[in-house]
Amino acid sequence: MAGLYYEDFEIGRVYKHALSRTVTEADNILFSNMTLNPQPLHIDRHFAERHSQWGQPIVNSLFTLGLLVGITVNDLTLGTTVANLGMKDTRFPHPLFHGDSVYASTKVLDKRLSKSRPDVGLVEFEHTATNQDDVVVAVTARTAMMLKRPA
């Protein structure tokens, strides 16, 4: 499915995304190493078992955030986004663990026309990720610059 244009978004509409993904230990180790994050809570099982309240490694929160936004692309912004302008109110109310599956939904919070560019509008999304038990693992508000429908 191609991305939606600015005009297609309705404030208050919620999208349940069909894509989902199970996160593996390799995903977490690779992402943490690629981003030079040596946090042992992510990359050292024995450390996490002894020193974490969870008793196991937790998935790097930036991987969780990237996966959340990535799941939404096919349904919302594939080929129609110009740029991400920012994220705010990002939170991770519950950790994600190796073997958890991630599901996503998006609510359109707001939209407005660009004051400087007649070909785009700004759309604010609230993306929410849940695990297989429907526990919220990530939430973020993202503002994207979206193309307007061609004349």
What is d(CA 16, CA 72) in angstroms, rounded to the nearest whole number?
A: 9
Helix intervals (H) in the chain: 25-34, 40-43, 45-51, 61-76
Q: What is the pTM of this model?
A: 0.94
User: Please, where are the H alpha helices in 35-147?
Assistant: 40-43, 45-51, 61-76
Cα pseudo-dihedral 71, 13, 80, 130, rounded to 10: -10
Q: Which domains does the chain have, with CATH numbers?
A: 6-147 (3.10.129.10)
Q: Strand, coil or helix: what is 26?
A: helix
* pLDDT one-digit tens code per residue, 9-59: 999 999 999 999 999 999 999 999 999 999 999 999 999 999 999 999 999
Span 6-18, pLDDT tens digits: 999 999 999 999 9
Contacts of 106 (CB under 8 A, 6+ apart): 14, 15, 17, 72, 75, 76, 125, 126, 127, 128
What would the pLDDT profile of 95-143 be if each residue is shown by its tens digit?
999 999 999 999 999 999 999 999 999 999 999 999 999 999 999 999 9
What is the C-alpha radius of gyration for the chain, rounded to an integer number of angstroms? 17
**CA 38 to chain centroid:** 22
